[in-house]
Structure 1
Amino acid sequence: MHFRKRLLASITLSLAFASALTCSTALAQKDWPTRSIQLEVPFAAGGPTDSIARLIAVPMGQYLGQTVVVENVPGAGGTIASTKVARAAPDGYTIYIHHIGMATASALYDKLSYDPLTSFEYIGQVADVPMVLMGRKDLPPNNFKELEAYIKANGAKVTMANAGPGAVSQLCGLLLQSRLGVKLTNIPYKGTGPALTDLLGGQVDLLCDQTTQIIPYIKDNRVKSYGTTTLKRLPAIPNVPTLSEQGLKGFEVKAWHGVYAPKGTPQAVLDKLNAALKFALNSPDVKKRLEDSSIDVVSMDKVTPKSLKTQLENEINAWGPIIRKANIPD
């Protein structure tokens, strides 16, 4: 009899503790955040991803009532930062912005300490950075049709710069070569900055780069512009046709960006982060500053976990075969 009473008392106490713990957790999530949030960026300061992160961090912090601090964790094509975030506490105080590199890592690296699809929670897409295929100013072809003939006639004699294995500039070059059925001499750099410098200096023939830093050079005719990697012409450079309209139908490469959190982050926290991201992207100042750099803010129906997950899955399936066939790094 005494045993049964003690057992019932123990069960009652356990249930009360569990209930209190549940209420405490729910209350903590309701009050979240109570301190600053780290927004991890997998590249050095000053690049397109870092610029986008710093633009959205301020209004996100305003919405959440806490500072969102941008932290740069560069190296290994973004995999160092991805590993750090995947291992971080799933409490919402560590979030992550990454571009198309999130989709290409599994094809580029034999072993990853995380799974791009299952090690993270999805918050939403952010923005797309388009690209332009450019040539040195004294390269003989004057338009893409002439460039296509020139490439097929010269093959590996044509040099194409990129920002290193897995960079969007390299992916653009690989897709171009795949669509044209040619193999160029691909020259990796430690970023698009030095690659662009050598293109401007005439040391390399071609470069596919993001619009954030090349629009002034295009407008000043310091490079030859052969086409944008978008399906529609860019308002900032309306006279530059798309590669798609010039024969490479459907050719599209963009440095799309998304925001993630560690796997297991509570849904209530994810909902707040998603609302904060939407608030930031709806900010007139953020929109204008992004658009001034020819960066396209995605429509609000894409600023969702489902949309980001679908985008990541589609990009993994699209780029995996191209990367493996190219045997990167080459």
Structure 2
Amino acid sequence: MRRSFLSLAVLAAASLFASAGFAQAWPSKPIRAVVPFAPGSATDQIGRAFVAEMSKTLGQTIIVDNKPGVNGMLGAAEVAKAAPDGYTILIGTNSTNAALKSLMKQLPYNQDTAFAPLGYMGSVPLIVAVNNDVPAKNLRELVALARSKAGHVTFASASTSQLVSTEMLASMAGVQMTNVPYKSGPAAMTDLIGGQVMLFTADFAVMLPQVKAGKIRGLAVTSTKRSPAIPELPTVNEALGLKDYELIAYFAMFAPAGTPPDIVARLNQAINAAASSKELQEKFAPIGFAVEPGTPESLARRTQLETAKWAKAIRDAKIEPQ
């Protein structure tokens, strides 16, 4: 029995030593960060800035891999199926890690169990904007235009936040508008400017430069308070006399479920160091991006709450799962 005990002790020590050695060796090669949206989108811009800072902390290159499609589902599914070794991570959003569960009849992964939370990055409000030729000069006039003819007002969407924000607005205002789906936010913006669609609600990274340049007309912001980045725009609540309208996009990082805790801890440390970067904060302050460092555990709790919140928003907006 004494020999058996000693043998078990030796094996346990060897296992711990091997685990520690693996953690110390990681990362020994480039890490792939999957962005489930197109180049130029807010997720892409913010994700690239974060991983550039994280590379400094980890001492290893992080390569961004854009895998857009189906409101982020294609990229998220790829990460869910990847090896849980810390070399594939997801730049996740409210689409991939909260809303898709309620938007799709079936996902190729279990949204609740497929990912290991790494760290929260931050959030950004959206801007409701129209093509300059649309006669509505404010949000109340746009609602009146939509009310005059059901389905007449067309709106673009390329992500969950873009779709749900507009459908929720229409539902709360008691009007019907026609959705025109796009594969990417930049493509939707091109058609908004060109007049192929009338309305688009999207994050500041996509919207604000075009509003400032006068290429489109901003009508409102989707947060409960006006944004310092464009204080002249009212909130949706102010513009329509509502109380409970709010929808913001957020960003967070995830790894495949089963990723070792020590690797999760190191990635979380790198994410928080990036979020604390003054250079990164100053870069994205003009688009209303608010960083919020935290633990993997706090992101797990937030993900549960956000999943319930988006499920309610999607039900209230009467969006049928596809």
**Is the shorter-chain TM-score for this pair beyond 0.5, marking a shared fold?**
yes
Of 166, 170, 187 in structure 2, the residue corresponding to residue 173 of structure 1 is 166
Structure-2 residue corresponding to 1:12: 6
Q: Residue 169 of structure 1 contacts residue 209 of structure 1 at CA under 8 Å; is this kept in 2?
A: yes
Gaps of 5+ in 2: none
Report how far residue 227 of structure 1 moved: 0.4
Report how far residue 263 of structure 1 moved: 1.3
Of 107, 116, 120 in structure 2, the residue corresponding to residue 112 of structure 1 is 107
1:148-205 Cα distance to aligned partner (Å, 9 max, x none): 3332232222222222xx5321121111112112221222223233322232233322
Aligned residues: CA RMSD: 2.1
The secondary structure found in structure 2 opposite 1:105 is helix
The secondary structure found in structure 2 opposite 1:130 is strand
Query: Is 2:234 the partner of 1:241?
Result: yes
Moved more, 47-56 or 33-42: 33-42
Given the two structures, how large is their TM-score scaled by the length of structure 1? 0.88
Distance 1:144 1:69 in 2: 41
Q: Residue 174 of structure 1 contacts residue 322 of structure 1 at CA under 8 Å; is this kept in 2?
A: no
Report how far residue 29 of structure 1 moved: 1.8
Q: Residue 68 of structure 2 contacts residue 183 of structure 2 at CA under 8 Å; is this kept in 1?
A: no
Gaps of 5+ in 1: 1-6
Q: How does 1:293-308 map to 2 (within 5 A)?
A: 294-300=287-293, 303-308=294-299
Structure-2 residue corresponding to 1:3: none
Q: How does 1:130-141 map to 2 (within 5 A)?
A: 130-141=125-136
Distance 2:40 2:127 in 1: 20
For this pair of structures, how many residues does the alignment match? Answer: 318
Report how far residue 88 of structure 1 moved: 2.1
Instruction: Give % identity.
Output: 35
* CA 1:43–1:219: 2 relative to 1, 3 Å: closer
Report how far residue 60 of structure 1 moved: 0.7
Moved more, 140-149 or 259-268: 140-149
* CA 1:70–1:198: 2 relative to 1, 3 Å: closer
Q: How does 1:87-106 map to 2 (within 5 A)?
A: 87-102=81-96, 103-106=98-101
Distance 1:317 1:268 in 2: 29
Report how far residue 221 of structure 1 moved: 3.0
Report the structure number with the largest CA radius of gyration: 1
Distance 2:301 2:176 in 1: 31
After the TM superposition, list the runs of 4 or more consecutive aligned residues in structure 1 that deviate by more than 6 angstroms. none
Distance 1:237 1:53 in 2: 23
Paired letter, 1:16 = V
The secondary structure found in structure 2 opposite 1:155 is coil
Q: Residue 124 of structure 1 contacts residue 304 of structure 1 at CA under 8 Å; is this kept in 2?
A: yes
Distance 1:83 1:225 in 2: 34
Paired letter, 1:158 = V
Paired letter, 2:124 = V
Distance 2:211 2:195 in 1: 15
The secondary structure found in structure 1 opposite 2:255 is strand
Given the two structures, how large is their TM-score scaled by the length of structure 2? 0.90
Moved more, 147-156 or 128-137: 147-156
